[in-house]
Structure formats: C-alpha cells, structure tokens
Amino acid sequence: MTRILVTGGCGFIGRHVTEELLKANYEVRILDALIDQVHGDVETDMPQAAEILRGNVCDRVAVVEALDDVDGVIHLAAEVGVGQSMYEIARYVGGNDLGTAVLLEAMIGKPIRRIVVASSMSVYGEGRYLTSTGEQVGLARRRSERIKAGSWNLRGPDGEDLVPVATDEEKPVDLASIYALTKYGQERQVLIFGEAYGVDAVALRLFNVFGAGQALSNPYTGVLANFASRLANHQSPMIFEDGEQRRDFVHVRDVARAFRLAFEQKAAAGHVINIGSGNAYTITEVATLLAESMGVPEIAPDIMNKARSGDIRNCFADISKARDLLGFEPEFRLEQALGPFVEWVKLTGAIDRGAEMKRQLEARGLVS
C-alpha cells in the first residue's frame, strides 16, 4: 500500500487531505509541530488510521524519521497569514523556506516518487487585468500614494479603471508580502528539486480556502474564519479598504480532493496549478452572506477605508489548467456551503482577536 507523508497534516487543510487520502486507501503519516496559534489548547481530532509524529519541519532528525518508508509527500507545513508575515519576518522565512529546504535535503536518495506542495494565490500580487479596450496588462500595481489617498482601484495609463478578470498560471508573479515571497520560494524549491532528482513535483496555488475546522481564534487564518469569529461575538466584521475587493473562495473538501488528484495524475508533474472555485466575490458580499447565514443580518460590516500593507485589490482563479491536468471540478459553492460552516462555528465557539490583530498592524505602521 502507498504511504504518503503529510507535513502539517493536523492543520485545517491537512486534516481534510488526510481524510481524503485514507478514503482512497492510502496509508498516511503526519508530521506536525502543533503550534499554539493554530491548534490552541484543543486536542486535534484526527482519524485514528493516520500515524502522527509531532515535530517541526525545520528539525532534520524529525523529518528524516518521518520520511522513513514513504512513497510520496504532500507538503502543507507553513506559517500562514499575509499581515503577520510583514512583522514576524524571520519566523515566516524560517518556517516556510528553511523548512522546505530541510525536507528536500532529507529526501535526497530516498525512493520517493512524488511531492505536492501547497503554494498560494498571494504569489500573483494583483490578479489579471484588462484595459478598457480589452488588452491584457502584464503587471498591474497600485501606487502607495494613491492607496493612502483612498483611491483603491487600479488605473490604466490614461487614468481609467482597469478591469479585473480571472487569473491564470501564466500571469507573472508579483510578490507583495513576505508571506507571498516565502510561498513562491517553497514552490520553486520543490519544482527545482523535482527536476534535478527525477522526482515528480507539483505546486498547487490555493485561493481562499474555507470550511469547518479553520482556526477561528487565529485572526490571520483567513477572511471567512475571521468574520465568523467577529460575528459569533456580536462584533462587526472588519473590512479594509472599501469592501469591493474581489476574492475566490474554495471549499476545503474540494482542495483536499485536488491534492489527491495532484498526487495521482501523471500529467500534473512539473506544473503549477491554480486551485479555486472559479468564482469571484466582493469582501462585503461575503461578510453580508455570512451574517445572514449566522442569523445576525443586522450586524453590518465595519468598512474601515484603510489599507493593510501587503494586501492586493483583486485576485480570483482561472481553473482551466486544474480541469485539464487533474480532472478537477469544484463541488461546493460558497453560497451553498455556508450552512455547514456556520453550524460548526456555533458548536465550536470562537475568541475574537480581530481587534488585537488590527492594533498589532497599526502599531507597526502597516495600516494606512
């Protein structure tokens, strides 16, 4: 039977990937540091069929032990969060890039046939844009002085608003945060290693992942969990800028299936692949939908009209490549999947740390 090592397998995405692999009759070994910010004091509920080793991916001894007699690796272990990465720089670079380097070095000479790494849509910076005449823009960026003046949308050479469109994998990367830098480093390390050592390597660029099991009390875990924590504590979701920025929300069970397919499909080797829903939502729309689903439609979002350093305006996925190479098709839409997520939030409870996050960013001059 094929044994797969899942680094970070006790995390939000990792638990669902583990369940997906076990259902498909793989053996699963997990290496996870179980850090407090992600897991808190709650004992992680994992399938008993998975073998769990507690250890940090930066610890070579722990990694070598975890790699013993495995056939493949799904590398999810990472520090997550754009905002926090802008001031805990050493932590993010160490955990993400150094951790990946330790893992790859330990793989040299072992009969591991494939590695799939979790990358991020953050590597794109801004997504794809067209001019008003339909011409594709290579790299679109916002100027800091315009952001500080409250001019949120991207402009073309003649001052006209650019039109956001779905982002494909050919769009050049444009790293706007330390987190994005480390995720790009992770994917490049894995793909370079795979080519050099004859190991099939795949990088999945994940868009905004949501679903039951997110760390609700970690304000850097993701926008939907952050909003849910606020609403569960009868607080308005805090939205930077004007709330009209657009994102792609993909369900964690769809993401878990994508990782299994990326491990199985031969055509995926050597590729970077977007994993999203293929749909775009404004952040205000998401906050409103969630408030309605949680039975508190009267709690309107707090539109702060302030920008957070490292944030981008629009990015949503073109998933044509995932369809072609993986046979991937999302099964869950945000609107239909909010019900089960809300029920889980009610059962779990959440400590709202959104205001604390905002204070930390403001104290470092990362909100303007």
Least trusted range by pLDDT, from 42-56, 61-75, 100-114, 272-286: 42-56
State percent of the chain over pLDDT 70: 90
Residue 183 phi/psi, 5-degree rounding, is -70, -40
Average pLDDT value for residue range 325-350? 88
Beta strands 27-32 and 51-54, pairing class: parallel
Answer yes or no: is pLDDT of 184 > 80.
yes
Q: What is the mean pLDDT of residues 297-301?
A: 92
Residue 218, pLDDT above cutoff 70: no
Whether 186 shows a pLDDT value over 50: the answer reads: yes
Tokens of 358: 């905002």
| Residue 13 pLDDT > 90 | yes
170-179: average pLDDT:
93
Length of the chain: 368
pLDDT at 43: 47
Which range has the worst mean pLDDT, 150-164, 184-198, 324-338? Answer: 150-164
Structural domains in the chain, sorted by start: 3-363 (3.40.50.720)
* Residue 167: predicted pLDDT: 97
238 bridge partner residues = 302
Instruction: Report the chain's mean pLDDT, rounded to a whole number.
Output: 89
The pLDDT value recorded for residue 220 is 54
Closest CA to 315 of 258, 250, 252: 250
pLDDT digits (tens, 9 = 90+) for 222-245: 788 888 888 888 899 999 999 999
Q: What is the DSSP letter of 161?
A: B
Query: Residue 352: what pLDDT?
Result: 55
The pLDDT assigned to 358 comes to 54
Give yes or no for residue 364 having a pLDDT over 90: no
Q: Residue 351: what pLDDT?
A: 62
Query: Mean pLDDT, to the nearest integer, of 178-184?
Result: 95
Place of tokens 């470092």: 364
Rounded to whole angstroms, the Cα distance separating 21 from 209 reads: 18
Hunting for tokens 């740390």 — which residue is that?
353
Q: What is the mean pLDDT of residues 344-352?
A: 72
Residue 8 scores a pLDDT above 90 = yes
- Residue 42 pLDDT level (bands cut at 50, 70, 90): very low
CA distances from 217 to 9, 228, 301, 350 (A): 19, 10, 19, 6
Question: Can you tell me the mean pLDDT for 137-153?
Answer: 85
Structure tokens at 327: 């046979």
Q: Is the pLDDT of residue 293 over 70?
A: yes
Kindly list the strands in the beta sheet with 3-7, ordered across the sheet, starting from the edge strand earlier in the chain: 51-54, 27-32, 3-7, 72-75, 114-120, 200-206, 272-275
For residues 318 and 125, give the distance between their C-alpha atoms in angstroms, rounded to a whole number.
15
The pLDDT of residue 39 is above 60: no
- Summarize the confidence of residues 69-76 as an average pLDDT: 98
Q: Considering the chain, what percentage of its residues have pLDDT values greater than 90?
A: 68
How many Cα atoms occupy the beta-carbon half-sphere of 172 within 13 Å? 7
CB neighbours of 220 closer than 8 A, spacing ≥ 6? Answer: 37, 80, 81, 82, 83, 84, 357
**pLDDT(316) > 80:** yes
pLDDT of the residue at 367: 61
